[in-house]
Structure 1
Amino acid sequence: MPSESLAAALARAGSAVELLRNLSFPPSTFPVKPEFTNWRSEQRAWLDSCALLDQSHHMTDLFVEGPDALRLFSDLGVNTFANFGPGKAKQFVAVAPDGHLIGDAILFHLDEDSFDLVGHPMVLDWVTFHLERGDYKATAERDDNSIVRQSGPPKLYRYELQGPTAAAIVEQVSGAPAPDVKFFNMAEFTIAGKRVRGLRHGMAGQPGFELFGPWEDGEAVLGALLQAGQDHGLVRVGAKAYSTANLGSGWVPAPLPAIFGDDPLLAEYREWLPVGKVGSIGGSLDSDDIADYYLTPYDIGYGKTVKFDHDFVGREALERMAQETPARTKVTLVWNADDVTAAVGSMYRPGPGAKYIEMPKARYATHHEDAVLKDGRQVGISLDVGYLANEREMVSLATIDSALAEPGTEVTVVWGENPVSAKPAVEPHEQVQIRAVVAPCPYDARETYRAG
């Protein structure tokens, strides 16, 4: 039986907010071993030595091929596609007709007329919808993550090496100097006799490569990396530590896709999209208007990505936004240690206490949005929260009123729901207010990340 469409589910629930707040969908999960040692030490590795993160299982790949494949991405992406040839990659960002975010993913230009869009399903679904309804000479093959895939292994393995010794490991395992390629450009290696593609990457201001190739080559490549890594402090990183990597680099992993507006294109999309693809919303933000949960590219630091050198869905709306001073700015919020300790400590006293704060990642819905207050007035949204062992701090990524984005500004994050939703991950609890201080974003490498 076909899955219920989002349009049908909305008609049944009567409200987008009501539907999404009570859906049982969890946050994105990482179907790899939770810890190889312990997540605190594993977090340390990408700053001190080198972390090996297995990305083979938790992201979805959409392979698009054909003479119109590039035109498809250009019609939907806010990015420029000038000089985007094979061997390059970019963070692909798509918006709705009103300029609010649909989502983002990494777009690999593999070969002539051949692309791989890698990320959470939200933006991949949007691209697939437009390919099916449009006049494009292109085809798509989807490889869902290992939780969703019906059978068999992934099509590709994908290993990320990050940290000060990453280049040395690549040189040793390939028997050649690390290639001098620019950020988000690709190179080729021979590892364990296998052809390996590598994307020049960076996380927490440190050098790195994302290595990938056919799944059947993965074990041989992994074995060679682990062997070479013994000389360079290589640490395998499990799902727990990996889930926090974005907090230091400043990437917002799952903004709510802005697909609930009145535009006829969005109405058609909701008829096409199964409700199981939309995800849940969680957190203290409490508005009956689903638009209050939306983000723009400017809210979370993607303004520099927007280029008006081509036509794309949402261009007119973004052109208007670009003429205005950004209303909100992406920041890191450092949560007050005493307030976090009190919230956690409430679990050990008669309840109900504060909403459970899971370690190291505390998000409990697909799209997490907590209200940020200043003097009792909402001034922003806290989007993703977790613990960084290197700093020994609980932090969250947030977008707040630009006038309050100066580091050192004091604000308050509301933690917990009122009313409590029906999501299985939400127990009876009371909302608490946690003080926080604005800090730069990205945070892990606030002095070196942009330069790197």
Structure 2
Amino acid sequence: MKKTALAEKHEQLGARMVDFAGWYMPVQYSGIIEEHRTVRTAAGLFDLGHMGQVGVTGADALTFLNYIGSNDASVLAPGQAIYSLMLNPTGGVIDDIIIYRNPSGVGYFVVINASNTDKDVSWLQEQAGKRNDLAVQVDHLSDTMGMIAIQGPNAASIVAKLSSVDLSDMESFSMRETQIADVTCMAGRTGYTGEDGWEFYCPVDDSAQVWDALMAAGQDEGLRPIGLGARDTLRLEARMPLYGNEMNDEINPYDAGLGWAVKLDRDDFVGRDALLAVRERG
């Protein structure tokens, strides 16, 4: 099994460790119900180092992302993000993704699901190879990137103690560069719990430093480590979909209740014809 940079931390905290999509991950610490309530009433810290990340750059990066995604990334200003779906030609969902436009305005940063990382990267690179009319480069960043989320009503006050820049005015689905414990991070105001918070992306070798700093800053505000079990119950309560459950490569976005993430009134994208046919059939 693969291990995140924080695996030893989880063991020290007494986590129950399991195999999740080939990763050695904490499923719970004190218990799923207690951890769920902690996130709803205080704050929880999540190791998401198993998630995948991709960089998309080049003069035609936007055109490419609109070709492989169901949503319209052209609406993104620098530092904004959008939820989108990668579809196969029959309209089934390959994966759901978050596309960030880098705050610099140069290139994009795409987050993909842990269980689909290898499949997604191969598919993205295959599509880039087929579109030789586009100047685009797809880089697999997962091995160099750590990802830590803090979620809950106390997340903002905890992060304010550490962040080198003010993050409190960030809108949902936005990104800003900051430093946490002297580590340069990209802070995304996104999450998978239905609570306010951030997902921090940092160099993988600095993950432990960021984790320890957040844990220390949140000690008096009820911050606790949270496992994958509570992450699942939190996202279910918030009605957030999970690949392999509410969607897969045989379920189209409309059947999955994700039609809001499909924009058909634009240039062609993979799966568009199939979805038009679904709409016409009603």
Could you state the TM-score of these two structures normalised by the residue count of structure 1? Answer: 0.52
Please state whether the residue corresponding to 1:45 is helix, strand or coil.
Answer: helix
Q: 2:58 maps to which residue?
A: 66
1:80 to 52, 56, 72: 72
Q: Report whether the alignment pairs 1:318 with 2:256.
A: no
Q: Report whether the alignment pairs 1:174 with 2:166.
A: no
Residues 254-280 of structure 1: CA distance to partner in whole angstroms, max 9, x if unpaired?
A: 2332xxxxxxxxxxxxxxxxxxxxxxx
Asked which structure has the greater RCO (Cα within 8 Å, sep 6+), the reply is: 2
8 Å contact kept, 1:34–1:239: yes
Q: Report whether the alignment pairs 1:49 with 2:46.
A: no
8 Å contact kept, 1:55–1:158: yes
Q: 1:27 to 1:195 in 2, by over 3 A?
A: closer
Q: 1:128 maps to which residue?
A: 125
Q: 1:106 maps to which residue?
A: 98
Q: 1:116 maps to which residue?
A: 109
Q: Distance in 1 between matches of 2:207 and 2:87?
A: 35
8 Å contact kept, 1:63–1:115: yes
Q: Report whether the alignment pairs 1:226 with 2:215.
A: yes
Q: Report whether the alignment pairs 1:302 with 2:264.
A: no
Residues 169-220 of structure 1: CA distance to partner in whole angstroms, max 9, x if unpaired?
A: 1112226654312211112333212222211124443211111122233222
Q: Distance in 2 between matches of 1:309 and 1:104?
A: 19
User: Could you list the runs of 5+ residues in structure 2 that have no partner in the other structure?
Assistant: 1-18
8 Å contact kept, 2:79–2:105: no
Q: Distance in 2 between matches of 1:47 and 1:29?
A: 29
Q: Distance in 2 between matches of 1:320 and 1:33?
A: 43
Once the two structures are superposed, the pairs formed by residues 240-389 of structure 1 within 5 Å of their partners are 240-249=229-238, 250-254=240-244, 255-257=247-249, 294-307=250-263, 308-325=265-282
Residues 323-351 of structure 1: CA distance to partner in whole angstroms, max 9, x if unpaired?
A: 454xxxxxxxxxxxxxxxxxxxxxxxxxx
Q: Distance in 2 between matches of 1:139 and 1:174?
A: 32
Amino acid at match of 1:114: G
Amino acid at match of 2:90: D
Please state whether the residue corresponding to 1:216 is helix, strand or coil.
Answer: helix
Q: Report whether the alignment pairs 1:161 with 2:150.
A: yes
Please state whether the residue corresponding to 2:161 is helix, strand or coil.
Answer: helix
1:166 to partner: Cα distance: 0.6
2:85 to 51, 72, 93: 93
1:243 to partner: Cα distance: 4.2
Q: Distance in 1 between matches of 2:136 and 2:68?
A: 15
Identical pairs, percent: 28
Q: Distance in 2 between matches of 1:33 and 1:104?
A: 23
Residues 182-191 or 26-35, more deviating: 26-35
Q: Distance in 1 between matches of 2:279 and 2:92?
A: 13
1:239 to partner: Cα distance: 3.4
Q: Distance in 1 between matches of 2:179 and 2:277?
A: 48
Could you state the TM-score of these two structures normalised by the residue count of structure 2? Answer: 0.80
Q: 1:140 maps to which residue?
A: 138
